[in-house]
Chains A and B, each alone.
Chain A
Amino acid sequence: DTGVSQDPRHKITKRGQNVTFRCDPISEHNRLYWYRQTLGQGPEFLTYFQNEAQLEKSRLLSDRFSAERPKGSFSTLEIQRTEQGDSAMYLCASRGPRSYEQYFGPGTRLTVT
């Protein structure tokens, strides 16, 4: 069990560029979550997958955001036409089929200049 991994750990991009983040959950965890955390705040729920199905998207997830989990394993989160307000830590978490605990990755810190 190597834990949840995220790549990259840091990303600096210019406003208007597209960025993509990857999350690899703990193996055999069928549930995967994305959260966003801004400075001084707790994480806020963005979206949730059970296997490959995206079951809920927060209203925080504008149409510039898209997430996929094509084979029910790793997931990607893409932000198109980034804005300065997108600067945040993006956290991924996973959860097994018979547990309620979510295990978090180290996060990807996005800075939009």
Chain B
Amino acid sequence: AQSVTQPDIHITVSEGASLELRCNYSYGATPYLFWYVQSPGQGLQLLLKYFSGDTLVQGIKGFEAEFKRSQSSFNLRKPSVHWSDAAEYFCAVGPPNDYKLSFGAGTTVTVRA
């Protein structure tokens, strides 16, 4: 069975600073990997996805993520955060051709002025 670990429960970052959120997964082969963002009281919005190919993927809102097979990681990065990036971020994994996603517990990002 697949699982996802997001080691950081809460991160505080200054506006304009860089951000990196960690995600480690457990799966026997290369899964499909996703990052979602959730604002308070809202559903989840897809930021980016990795299926195969180039291990550095670009997403919306200036986010990118890098897949590292040797480390079973899929970390999310943004070079310069904006106050509107304050939200909860979820990493998810799904086996290819399967249908259900397994999510990490999430990382809450606070942006200070």
Cα distance, A35 to B45, chains bound together (Å):
14
Contact A40 B36 (CB under 8 A): no
Contact A43 B99 (CB under 8 A): no
The segment from A11-19, A64-72, A73-81, A98-106 found at the interface with B is A98-106
Number of A-B contacts (CB under 8 A): 57
Q: A91 with B44: in contact, given A41-B106, A44-B103, A56-B99 (CB under 8 Å)? A: yes
**Which A residues are in CB contact (< 8 Å) with B42?**
106-107
**Is A42 an interface position by the 8 A CB rule?**
yes
**Is B63 an interface position by the 8 A CB rule?**
no
Cα distance, A48 to B99, chains bound together (Å):
8
A-side interface mostly? strand
**Which A residues are in CB contact (< 8 Å) with B32?**
100
Min CB distance B94 to A, Å, is 7
**Which A residues are in CB contact (< 8 Å) with B43?**
4, 6, 91, 104-107
Min CB distance B88 to A, Å, is 9
Q: A56 with B100: in contact, given A40-B105, A106-B43 (CB under 8 Å)? A: yes
A44-67: which have CB < 8 Å to B?
A: 44-45, 48, 50, 55-56, 58
**Is A21 an interface position by the 8 A CB rule?**
no
Q: A42 with B104: in contact, given A91-B43, A100-B51, A106-B42 (CB under 8 Å)? A: yes
**Is A31 an interface position by the 8 A CB rule?**
yes
Q: A100 with B100: in contact, given A4-B43, A42-B106, A109-B41 (CB under 8 Å)? A: no
Cα distance, A107 to B42, chains bound together (Å):
7
Q: Which of A42, A50, A100 has the most CB of B within 10 A?
A: A42
Which A residues form the contact surface with B (CB < 8 A)? Answer: 4, 6, 31, 33, 35, 40-45, 48, 50, 55-56, 58, 91, 93, 95, 100-107, 109
For the complex with contacts A40-B105, A101-B49, 15 further pairs of A-B residues with Cβ separation under 8 Å are A6-B43, A41-B105, A42-B105, A43-B44, A43-B90, A43-B103, A44-B103, A45-B101, A48-B99, A58-B100, A100-B94, A100-B96, A101-B46, A103-B46, A106-B42
**Which are the 7 A-B pairs with shortest beta-carbon distances?**
A42-B103, A45-B100, A104-B43, A104-B44, A106-B43, A48-B99, A42-B90
